[in-house]
């Protein structure tokens, strides 16, 4: 919603010599299993509930046109991907990815007993747990804690000004959030502050444990350490790639930075970015068109960039939203909260195609689509590809899907 | 955590030798109930006793008419200019200058509760109108406030409910009314939402004002939350508030805002507050009084068990050291730290607690403080920091370290830490004023300072 990330991430993306990376960040792989891969997952979160039906359009379905008198995408405008389905017309870049065989569309993704609250549903997607269960940690944070050595400094990087997504939360290590490189530099007497923080750790005056203090202390230590070394070190390893043009959207800028960082010795394994604004209860058409075009073109540019950098085999992007939207449009030319919707995986390692049937518009529950694929199956498949254990992070065993080559 | 006895928790705190009413406790009360005060006021609070201090905060600090007029003039001219960022600056000014800190803190609570962002509404008049509404009811009648917010143009626009026709009711407002404003997730069904949405059909915004369009209102019978009838929107709101989940939901949010971030309070612990809310017919003030007089509030379960919000951090230190600085810049920085007043991140408002903190915001907090402390536009009681401290009879760095710790750190700094900070400040510069500034910046960069 707030676009104040645009300029700051532009700073990140366009700092002319690129971002300087410290030696300690450069490689943690020597201490790892030699057979372990260095695959990279880039998560793109569409916040607010993306309208799946207007993203992958069932243009042969009369029921779709009956339910969406003002919002339906006309058959002749959908970018056809087969005889029945087409992309939203703003998603030309995504259609190209599909044609070139690097996009997988997973139909009808959701979970049992769907929750239509943004916040509860997002928490479910982030933690794989319901409200009634203990859920302090996210599925990505938990995976990293289980899979990687604590010595790896920045396994997870969140680019954005919004609060850190719960999916990244872990006891250790603390995921790093960066809004802008400029702001990621500590002013004042850094050494004095770092020394005092270190001292405070061993001098808790109170008898009672204060979990909040522990949390702030470890977060401060991690931030100071990363900041100091990120700024101080003058490694010139981040390469610009002017052959690929990204749009000016905040998301595109963040993905451009992500591509640069992936193509640097920084061994970050998960990047996390979000695009907000999908809660289209009123006047959906224009807003959804802009947003769909934004993430489609940003993802297209990102994959082109990654390919030119020769990194395509180790990078997969995953796109999701907390729910889809109601089949019937409302009277405000918008749609209310729904349930199942498509997910997307993109990258050279991905097995391209449409996985699963488009959800039925006749066999429905409470006016909403029934899910056919549990999102945790997609997570399990992705974690498998990362060679990370999934059972703990996903709170159970989930069968994988044929999503990778 | 040990299970807390609700009777003990909400009984009136009586200072003892072991748990005295002292400067630390007074600073805690002011930090939580308001934003903070300087040393002089704290000492007066200690001398007057805890009960008197609470009474004063709740009842005796009304803004003088002249100040209210000044604020009204300021906001009128901002609304005329249409500058949304300036609205935030004006509110920040009010938080800094008001005599009634508790009231502004509570207004900020409701802004997070009925979160509405100017980024979407894009209208200074409607945003200020909503802010006035929240301030008017802040410590008063919750039922009236919910009724008013339900017809508030900024809110309806924010929730895409400016048009609502009976053929296809828009569910957004009905959902958030139950999920975020009154009951909490899990206390209603999807069917309840659909039925409740029908009650609000015909509610519209025209020319920046609420309007009832009877031609679009569904006058039929609705059934939700164990009631049924041809309910109007107002009757529907009243019914939602009358269900048992409502007072518990508000009590839970108040405890999280004022008492402790974690662990989540149990229903048993909250029950006496919920009961009080119900008994007071949702007049908020009595429940606040109960909280600020309670054993729990002054216990180790509450002290230093919250993370300061960016606004609390900034307003607290500015009030504590009588800082004047460029408020426009501060308001902008607050937004970058995730606490943009008038610009909450979404309809759920600010989650608070640990979500305030990550690598980016921690460095951002420290850098904002550095910017304020070292800006040429900044004064401390219209003086340099050194001169201001001397006025308060603080002459040495060691004394200042204790002073800053007492005033601003919910978890006091150890002597060892303070000594090290002083040494670092002395090493950094020979300029006395700069030494005090360096010391202050170090203090506000420490984890102990982030606790509220």
> Which pLDDT tens digit goes with each residue over A23-59?
444 443 334 455 568 999 999 999 999 999 999 999 9
Nearest to B187 by CA among B130, B267, B109: B267
Instruction: Write down the mean pLDDT value for chain A.
Output: 86
Candidate from A161-165, A223-227, A254-258 with smallest mean pLDDT: A223-227
Distance CA A141, CA A148 (A): 11
Tell whether B417 is within 8 A of chain A (Cβ): yes
- Let me know how many helices (H) and strands (E) chain A has, helices first: 12, 12
CATH class held by domain A5-180+238-394: alpha beta
Which residues does chain B have within 8 Å of residue A197's beta carbon, measured at their own beta carbons?
A: 445-447
Query: B222 and B348: one domain?
Result: no
Mean pLDDT value across residues A189-204? 81
The answer to whether the beta carbons of residues B305 and B369 sit under 8 Å apart is no
Kindly report the nearest CA distance between residue A82 and chain B, in angstroms.
32
Sequence-ordered list of residues with C-beta below 8 angstroms from that of A13, at least 6 positions apart, any chain: A246, A253, A254, A256, A257, A260
Evaluate if residue A9 carries a pLDDT over 50: no
Mean pLDDT value across residues B189-209? 95
Which residues does chain B have within 8 Å of residue A192's beta carbon, measured at their own beta carbons?
A: 420-421, 424-425, 427-428, 438, 442
Nearest to A184 by CA among A131, A111, A257, A126: A257
**How many Cβ pairs closer than 8 A exist between chain A and B?**
224
Mean pLDDT value across residues A302-311? 96
Query: B317 and B400: one domain?
Result: yes
Q: Which residues pair with residue A272 across a beta bridge?
A: A43, A158
Query: B379 and B288: one domain?
Result: no
Of all residues in chain B, the percent with pLDDT exceeding 70 is: 100
Q: Which residues pair with residue A270 across a beta bridge?
A: A41, A156
Flag whether B166 is in a domain. Answer: yes
Distance CA B19, CA B102 (A): 24
Q: Residues for chain A: how many in total?
A: 405
Q: Which pLDDT score, from 0 to 100, does residue A151 have?
A: 67
| Pairwise pLDDT comparison (B296 vs A133), residue with the higher score | B296
Torsion angles phi and psi, residue A250, rounded to 5: -60, -40
Flag whether B281 is in a domain. Answer: yes
Q: Which pLDDT score, from 0 to 100, does residue B2 have?
A: 59
Query: B280 and B373: one domain?
Result: no
Which residues does chain B have within 8 Å of residue A1's beta carbon, measured at their own beta carbons?
A: 117, 119-120, 345-346
Q: Which pLDDT score, from 0 to 100, does residue A15 have?
A: 35
Q: Which pLDDT score, from 0 to 100, does residue B268 have?
A: 96
Sequence-ordered list of residues with C-beta below 8 angstroms from that of B244, at least 6 positions apart, any chain: none
Query: B189 and B258: one domain?
Result: yes
Mean pLDDT value across residues B136-154? 98
pLDDT in tens, B36-70: 999 999 999 999 999 999 999 999 999 999 999 99
Where does residue B444 rank: exposed (0-12), middle (13-18), buried (19+ CB within 10 A)? Answer: buried
**Token pair in block for residue A301:** 């540019």
Query: B190 and B173: one domain?
Result: yes
- Domain range for B41 is 16-59
Residue of A nearest to B413 (CA): A200
Local confidence band at A175 (pLDDT 50, 70, 90 cut-offs): confident
Quote the Cα angle for B433-B436-B442, to 5°: 140
Query: B261 and B388: one domain?
Result: no
Evaluate if residue A19 carries a pLDDT over 60: no
Q: Is B160 close to A281, i.e. CB distance below 8 A?
A: yes
| Pairwise pLDDT comparison (A228 vs B145), residue with the higher score | B145
The answer to whether the beta carbons of residues A309 and A321 sit under 8 Å apart is no
Q: Is B160 close to A215, i.e. CB distance below 8 A?
A: no
Quote the Cα angle for B236-B239-B241, to 5°: 115
C-alpha to C-alpha distances, B172 to A322, B165, B179, B196, B335, nearest whole angstrom: 16, 13, 10, 10, 26
Evaluate if residue A4 carries a pLDDT over 70: no
Nearest to A328 among B164, B168, B355 (CB): B168
pTM score, two decimals?
0.88
Mean pLDDT value across residues A145-156? 79
Mean pLDDT value across residues A218-238? 68
Nearest to B119 among A2, A195, A281 (CB): A2
Evaluate the omega torsion of the peptide bond into residue A173 and state whether it is cis, within 30 degrees of 0.
yes
CB neighbourhood size of B256 (10 A)? 17
pLDDT in tens, B400-437: 999 999 999 999 999 999 999 999 999 999 999 999 99
ipTM value for the complex = 0.94
Query: B280 and B199: one domain?
Result: yes
Sequence-ordered list of residues with C-beta below 8 angstroms from that of A39, at least 6 positions apart, any chain: A269, A314, A315, A316, A349, A385, A386, A387
Mean pLDDT value across residues B319-345? 95
Evaluate the CA torsion angle B324, B326, B331, B336 in order and state its sign.
negative
Q: Which pLDDT score, from 0 to 100, does residue A355 have?
A: 95
Nearest to A276 by CA among B117, B292, B241: B117
Tell whether B23 is within 8 A of chain A (Cβ): no
Local confidence band at A237 (pLDDT 50, 70, 90 cut-offs): low
Flag whether B127 is in a domain. Answer: no
Of all residues in chain A, the percent with pLDDT exceeding 70 is: 84
Flag whether B216 is in a domain. Answer: yes
Flag whether B391 is in a domain. Answer: yes
Sequence-ordered list of residues with C-beta below 8 angstroms from that of B60, at least 6 positions apart, any chain: none
Flag whether B134 is in a domain. Answer: no
Domain positions in chain A are 5-180+238-394
Mean pLDDT value across residues B346-357? 95
Number of domains into which chain B is organized = 3
Nearest to A253 by CA among A13, A2, A3, A8: A13
Place of tokens 């009369």: A62
Flag whether B205 is in a domain. Answer: yes
Which residues does chain B have within 8 Å of residue A119's beta carbon, measured at their own beta carbons?
A: 179, 185, 348
Candidate from A91-95, A252-256, A288-292 with smallest mean pLDDT: A252-256
Query: B241 and B334: one domain?
Result: no
Distance CA A144, CA A169 (A): 10
Nearest to B304 among A2, A175, A210 (CB): A210
Local confidence band at A2 (pLDDT 50, 70, 90 cut-offs): very low
Q: Residues for chain B: how many in total?
A: 452
Instruction: Write down the mean pLDDT value for chain B.
Output: 96
Nearest to A142 by CA among A129, A124, A127: A127
Distance CA A340, CA B187 (A): 23
pLDDT in tens, A202-225: 655 554 688 999 999 989 988 888
Q: Which pLDDT score, from 0 to 100, does residue A203 have?
A: 58
Distance CA B327, CA B312 (A): 15
The answer to whether the beta carbons of residues A325 and A55 sit under 8 Å apart is no
DSSP state of B179: I
Of all residues in chain A, the percent with pLDDT exceeding 90 is: 65
Query: B293 and B315: one domain?
Result: no
Q: Which pLDDT score, from 0 to 100, does residue B133 have?
A: 98
Q: Which residue, of B274, B305, B336, is where some domain finishes? A: B305
Q: Which pLDDT score, from 0 to 100, does residue A226 have?
A: 76
Flag whether B92 is in a domain. Answer: no
> Which of A11, A159, A187, A229 to probe by mutation at the B interface, max B CB count within 10 Å?
A187
Q: Which residue, of B305, B325, B359, is where some domain finishes? A: B305
């Amino acid at each position: 919603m707030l676009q104040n990330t645009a300029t700051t991430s532009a700073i990140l993306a366009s700092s002319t010599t690129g971002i300087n990376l410290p030696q300690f960040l450069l490689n943690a792989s020597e201490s790892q299993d030699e057979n372990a891969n260095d695959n990279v997952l880039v998560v793109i979160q569409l916040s607010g509930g993306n309208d799946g039906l207007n993203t992958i359009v069932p243009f042969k379905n009369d029921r779709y046109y009956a339910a969406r008198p003002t919002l339906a995408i006309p058959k002749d405008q959908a970018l056809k991907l087969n005889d029945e389905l087409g992309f939203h017309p703003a998603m030309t870049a995504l259609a190209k990815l599909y044609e070139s065989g690097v996009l997988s569309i997973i139909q009808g993704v959701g979970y049992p007993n769907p929750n239509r609250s943004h916040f509860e549903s997002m928490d479910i997607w982030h933690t794989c747990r319901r409200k009634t269960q203990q859920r302090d940690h996210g599925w990505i944070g938990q995976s990293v804690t289980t899979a990687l050595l604590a010595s790896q400094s920045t396994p997870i990087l969140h680019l954005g000004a919004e609060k850190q997504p719960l999916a990244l939360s872990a006891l250790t290590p603390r995921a790093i959030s960066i809004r802008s490189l400029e702001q990621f530099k500590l002013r004042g007497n850094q050494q004095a502050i770092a020394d005092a923080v270190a001292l405070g750790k061993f001098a808790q005056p109170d008898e009672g444990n204060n979990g909040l203090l522990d949390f702030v202390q470890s977060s401060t230590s991690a931030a100071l350490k990363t900041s100091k070394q990120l700024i101080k070190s003058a490694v010139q390893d981040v390469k610009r790639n002017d052959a690929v043009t990204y749009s000016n959207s905040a998301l595109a800028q963040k993905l451009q930075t992500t591509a640069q960082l992936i193509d640097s010795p920084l061994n970050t394994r998960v990047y996390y970015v979000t695009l907000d604004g999908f809660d289209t209860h009123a006047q959906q058409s224009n807003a959804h068109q802009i947003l769909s075009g934004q993430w489609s073109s940003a993802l297209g540019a990102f994959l082109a960039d990654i390919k030119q950098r020769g990194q395509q085999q180790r990078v997969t992007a995953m796109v999701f939203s907390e729910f889809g939207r109601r089949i019937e449009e409302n009277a405000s030319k918008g749609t209310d909260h729904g349930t199942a919707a498509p997910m997307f995986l993109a990258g050279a390692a991905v097995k391209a195609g449409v996985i699963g049937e488009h959800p039925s518009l006749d066999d429905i529950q409470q006016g909403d689509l029934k899910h056919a694929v549990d999102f945790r199956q997609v997570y399990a498949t992705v974690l498998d590809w990362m060679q990370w254990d999934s059972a703990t992070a996903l709170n159970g065993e989930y069968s994988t899907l044929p999503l990778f080559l | 955590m040990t299970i807390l006895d609700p009777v003990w928790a909400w009984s009136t705190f009586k200072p003892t030798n072991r748990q005295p009413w002292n400067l630390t406790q007074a600073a805690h009360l002011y930090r939580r109930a308001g934003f903070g005060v300087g040393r002089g006021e704290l000492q007066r609070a200690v001398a007057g006793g805890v009960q008197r201090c609470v009474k004063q905060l709740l009842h005796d600090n009304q803004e003088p008419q002249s100040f209210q007029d000044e604020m009204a003039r300021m906001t009128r001219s901002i609304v005329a200019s249409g500058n949304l960022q300036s609205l935030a600056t004006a509110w920040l000014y009010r938080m800094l200058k008001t005599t009634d800190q508790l009231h502004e803190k509570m207004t900020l609570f409701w802004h997070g509760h009925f979160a509405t962002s100017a980024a979407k509404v894009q209208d200074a008049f409607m945003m200020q109108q909503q802010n006035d509404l929240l301030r008017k009811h802040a410590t008063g009648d919750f039922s009236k406030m919910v009724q008013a917010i339900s017809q508030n143009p900024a809110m309806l626009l924010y929730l895409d409910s400016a048009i609502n026709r009976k053929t296809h009711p828009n569910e957004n407002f009905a959902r958030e009314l139950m999920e975020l404003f009154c009951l909490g997730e899990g206390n209603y069904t999807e069917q309840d939402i659909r039925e409740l949405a029908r009650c609000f059909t015909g509610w519209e915004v025209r020319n920046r004002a609420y309007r009832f369009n009877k031609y679009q209102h569904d006058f039929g019978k609705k059934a939700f939350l164990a009631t049924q009838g041809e309910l109007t929107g107002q009757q529907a709101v009243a019914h939602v508030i009358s269900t048992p989940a409502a007072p518990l939901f508000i009590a839970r949010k108040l405890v999280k805002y004022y008492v402790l971030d974690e662990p989540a309070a149990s229903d048993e612990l909250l029950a006496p507050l919920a009961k009080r809310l119900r008994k007071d017919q949702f007049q908020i003030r009595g429940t606040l009084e109960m909280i600020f007089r309670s054993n729990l509030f002054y216990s180790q379960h509450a002290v230093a068990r919250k993370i300061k919000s960016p606004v609390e951090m900034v307003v607290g230190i500015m009030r504590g050291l009588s800082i004047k600085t460029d408020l426009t810049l501060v308001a902008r920085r607050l937004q970058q730290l995730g606490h943009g007043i008038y610009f909450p991140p979404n309809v759920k408002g600010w989650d608070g607690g640990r979500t305030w903190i990550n690598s980016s915001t921690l460095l951002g907090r420290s850098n904002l403080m550095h910017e304020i402390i070292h800006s040429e536009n900044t004064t401390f009681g219209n003086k340099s920091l050194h001169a201001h401290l001397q006025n308060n009879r603080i002459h040495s760095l060691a004394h200042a370290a204790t002073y800053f710790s007492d005033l601003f750190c919910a978890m006091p700094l150890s002597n060892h830490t303070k000594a090290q900070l002083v040494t670092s400040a002395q090493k950094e510069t020979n300029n006395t004023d700069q030494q005090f500034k360096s010391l202050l910046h170090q203090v506000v960069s420490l984890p102990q300072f982030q606790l509220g």
